[in-house]
Amino acid sequence: MNSFMDKMGDALLPIANKVGNQRHLLAIRDAFTTIMPLMIIGALVVAINNLPIEAFQNLMNSIFAYTLEDGSHIWKNLGGNVWNGTFGIMSLFMAYLIGDNLGTSYGMNGKTAGATSLASFATIGGMAGVSSSGLFIAIIVALLSVELLKVLSSIDKLKITMPEGVPAGVASSFNSMIPMMLVIVAVGLITTILVRVGIPNVVEVFYENFQKPFMGLSSTLPAALILAVVPTFLWFFGIHGANMIDPVMQLINAPAIEANNAAIAAGKAAENIVNKPFFDSFVNMGGTGATIALLIAMFIIGRKNKKMMTMASLSIGPGIFNINEPLTFGLPIVLNPIYFIPYVFGPVVLAAIAYFATSSGLVPVCTVVTAWVTPPVIGGLLATASWRGGLLAAFNLVVMICIYLPFVYVANKQDMLEIEQEASNN
């Protein structure tokens, strides 16, 4: 078994390192990381605006009694304004940040690359799809425009050389002027050709024909199970699985959260079950592999095991805030055959339970983006804006403890045998 695990690790590690360090994926991942606080506050204000508690709504309406011309209450205008500045222009953020990140990785001026990709996205999409509906196009345009800018910037004849004494920032700007102009003109030409062949707005057409169906496909039970097992499988071999699939996860997450909140604001039911808060709240409790459950199982089984108790005591503090690297590498879980089954496949069980509980209507769909360090159970409460979300998280936690218990029992028994052998040898 150990030999098999070693061979799997040796085979996967080079591939994972190559994918994990791929500059385009890193540019996308880091861009999403930058705007995560905006996603959290954007989703939160919509949840507060539409909190399904009649007493709360009546209280707010009485305190802020002023009504706007469209019949909406003034206090909800705050949430709408915050939404406009967060999810409402998400694709613009992504277009600039991906360009900046990718350009910097090539040793280019990041701001110049970011400005070019942002201008290119605006050129091809206008102001349509600046929310998450234009996310895919923003990413594609950002990557391609920076690649083209890189090629054009390497041509000396396209550089404008400024005399000595000109500030470095000004000189750099003039050096990039012609390449930037050519990139934007090229994108404008492509946009014009698309209009000529019957595609008036590529962002809207792409959203309706590709992005929207992809969101529907991704919000299925098979997608939930795949996204639950891939990170744990990779982490088991010491590969940061969460980082590797984060760009894909966020491509699903941002449009799903926006669509859910738009539906709620319109008085409709949210339909996109599979999103990042879904996994953070009901699957990855304590970190990838739901390891807070493993820690609790260790406290239950290993009370007489000093080694196990020391590791559990050191890991429980970070574990409450979903930081499980001390346990992952210290226990270890990585390449430990005893924990392979519960660590890799336990989250699949949790994802299935959460999916059926949500799809059946027992628990509301997750609509609030929570910080990944939000403690278990509290995360479920906040993500769904309902006590039922907290109850589901607590139920899943109990289920995962039960899954881990027999394997912790085996590990504890093995430790105790080793201690006895060491004692007899001495």
Give 228-290 as a 3 state SS string.
HHHHHHHHHCCCCHHHHHHHHHHHHHHHHHHHHHHHHHCCCCCCCCCCHHHHHHHCCCCCCCC
In contact, 188 and 180? CB cutoff 8 Å: no
- Among 76-85, 207-216, 311-320, which is the least confidently predicted range? 207-216
Query: What values do phi and psi take at 130, rounded to 5?
Result: -75, -15
Check residue 358 and give its pLDDT: 95
In contact, 77 and 265? CB cutoff 8 Å: no
- Convert the pLDDT of each residue in 282-334 to its tens digit: 999 999 999 999 999 999 998 888 889 999 999 998 899 988 888 988 888 98
Check residue 7 and give its pLDDT: 61
Q: Which of 247, 225, 243 is nearest to 234 (CA)?
A: 243
- Among 111-120, 356-365, 414-423, which is the least confidently predicted range? 414-423
User: How confident is the model over 330-358, as a mean pLDDT?
Assistant: 93
353/403 Cα distance (integer angstroms):
14
Check residue 348 and give its pLDDT: 96
Q: Is the pLDDT of residue 270 over 60?
A: yes
Check residue 14 and give its pLDDT: 66
| Residue keyed to tokens 């939930």 | 224
Helices 135-153 and 110-125 meet at what angle, rounded to 10? 130
Domain-wise residue ranges, the chain: 25-210, 220-425
Check residue 283 and give its pLDDT: 96
Residue 307: both structure tokens together: 């080694």
What's CA 225's distance to the chain center, in Å?
16
> What is the average pLDDT score of the chain?
85
Q: Is the pLDDT of residue 1 over 60?
A: no
Residue 121: both structure tokens together: 């996205």
In contact, 287 and 259? CB cutoff 8 Å: no
Check residue 140 and give its pLDDT: 92
* Confidence at 67, pLDDT banded by 50, 70, 90: confident
34-70 exposure pattern, b = at least 16 Cβ within 10 A, e = fewer:
bbeebbbbbbbbbbbbbeeeeeebeebeeeeeeeeee
- Among 66-70, 150-154, 170-174, 390-394, which is the least confidently predicted range? 170-174
Residue 179: both structure tokens together: 């390449």
pTM listed for this prediction: 0.75
